[in-house]
Structures are given as C-alpha cells and as structure tokens.
Amino acid sequence: MAANRIPSADYLREILDYNPETGELKWKPKRPDMFNDGGWWKYRPEAQCARYNEKRSGKIADYQESQKYRCLYIDGKSYKSHRVIWCIVTGRWPSGQIDHINGVRDDNRWNNLRDVPKLINAKNQRKHKTNTSGVTGVSYVKHISKYIAYIGSNNKMIRIGYYETLEEAAKARKEAEIKHGFHPNHGQNPHVQSKTT
C-alpha cells in the first residue's frame, strides 16, 4: 500500500484477522507479492515474506497505549484499534468517535463499540479520577454544607441545584442525565461493569 494513504477495508481484511467475540486483532500471513512495492527487499520478496510470517503471522497485532486504548502500526502509521475494527466490520472508516459502551477502553468486542458524534460520546464517559463525592456531576460545597448537582450538555454547564444530602443530589443528577439523553453507563466505574454489556 502507498505511504500516507488511509488503508481500505479490503486491505485491512487482507492483513488482519478480527475476532468480534474477544475483540482481538491478529496478523494474517502475507504473500510474497505483498512485498513488491519497490523497497530494497524487492529482489527477495519470498525471503522477506517468510521472515515476516515467522515473526508476525497469528500474533496479536496491537498493544495498549498510555490512555488504555489499543493501537497498532500499519505500514509505519499508528491507528487506534477500535477505528480499524470498525472499518474491517462495516467496510468504512467511522464518521464520528468510537464509543466503548461499557467504558472499558481496551474492550474491543464488536457489541461494545458504536460510532457516535463527539457530543454523544461525551454522554457516556467513565467516572473521572478527580471525582471526590463518588457520584459524577455532584460535588460537596463546604462553606454552605450542601451538595451541588450539575451537568454538561451541548457545550453548556447546567447547575441543577443544591441539596442537603448526597442521595438527593445523585437522584437529581440521574434525572438530568435521562432528560439530556445520557447513556445509562455514564459516570460509572468501568472496572466493575460486566463485559457482556
């Protein structure tokens, strides 16, 4: 494949094997003619092919990067595995962001992926590490001894109200999530969610 060109679904299917039940991507064996693109190895494609297949064929193709997403290199360029998978299965690159429905970023099973606009993806985020109340969108306001519930929607921060208890604030926040079309998994801890989501 030519350099700096986005790989087609056909090409991805030719070099990668995707298991939709486990989310694994593995390298398929290559043919000698796949090494005849004018590189220095053009005079020994069979040897290069044999070396490649011995090293990669049947092996896991991707790795986990620092943000917990899985990535892989295709012809020298890095791609997020979930986007590659979307292209392999649907025949096209995603038009939006790929949302991991259960919040587990390295869970690339097919039933855990959906192609959504950025604003919809933002409505299915895991609980942030900085959260101190235990409930997404709820904070304790020390100087008035109350809990505030708030929600971000359509690039606006909306104050829902102040509440005496965490339970009241959490209930108000959940009602606001339903009203604004948030995914039921939003704000949950992905480590405690079922991988059958």
Boundary (domain end) residue, out of 60, 95, 120: 120
Q: How far is CA 9 from CA 15, 42, 48, 140, 185, in A?
A: 10, 25, 24, 49, 31
Residues 147-169 pLDDT 10s = 888 887 777 788 888 989 999 88
| Domains in the chain, number | 2
| In the predicted structure, residue 31 carries a pLDDT above the cut 80 | yes
Please tell me whether residues 57 and 75 are part of one structural domain. yes
20 is a domain residue: yes
Q: Which residue has the higher pLDDT, 88 or 30?
A: 88
Please tell me whether residues 150 and 74 are part of one structural domain. no
110 is a domain residue: yes
Which pLDDT score is estimated for 189?
64
Average pLDDT over all residues of the chain: 82
Radius of gyration from C-alpha coordinates of the chain: 22
Residues 1-29 pLDDT 10s = 545 589 999 999 999 999 999 999 999 99
Which pLDDT score is estimated for 42?
56
182 is a domain residue: yes
Phi (first) and psi of residue 60, to 5 degrees: -60, 130
The CATH number given to whatever domain includes residue 161 is 3.30.730.10
DSSP string, the chain: --TT-PPPHHHHHHHEEE-TTT--EEEPPPPGGGG-SSSGGGG-HHHHHHHHHHHHTTSB--EE-TTS-EEEEETTEEEEHHHHHHHHHHSS--SSEEEETTS-TT---GGGEEEE-HHHHTTS-PPPTT--SSSTTEEEEGGGTEEEEEEEETTEEEEEEEESSHHHHHHHHHHHHHHTT--TTTT--GGGS-TT-
Please tell me whether residues 93 and 17 are part of one structural domain. yes
Contact 147/166 with Cβ under 8 angstroms? yes
Please tell me whether residues 39 and 84 are part of one structural domain. yes
| Domain span at 38 | 9-120
The CATH number given to whatever domain includes residue 15 is 3.90.75.20
Mean pLDDT of 123-151: 75
CA atoms within 13 A on the CB side of 164: 0
| In the predicted structure, residue 40 carries a pLDDT above the cut 90 | no
Please tell me whether residues 27 and 112 are part of one structural domain. yes
Q: Is the dihedral of CA 35, 38, 39, 44 positive or negative?
A: positive
**CA pair distance 182, 80, nearest whole angstrom:** 25
Boundary (domain end) residue, out of 120, 150, 166: 120
3 is a domain residue: no
Please tell me whether residues 149 and 115 are part of one structural domain. no
Please tell me whether residues 94 and 149 are part of one structural domain. no
pLDDT band at 139 (very low <50, low <70, confident <90, very high): confident
Please tell me whether residues 116 and 135 are part of one structural domain. no
Residue from 130, 127, 129, 159 nearest 146 by CA: 159
Please tell me whether residues 37 and 115 are part of one structural domain. yes
**pTM for the model:** 0.63
Mean pLDDT of 47-68: 90
Please tell me whether residues 150 and 116 are part of one structural domain. no
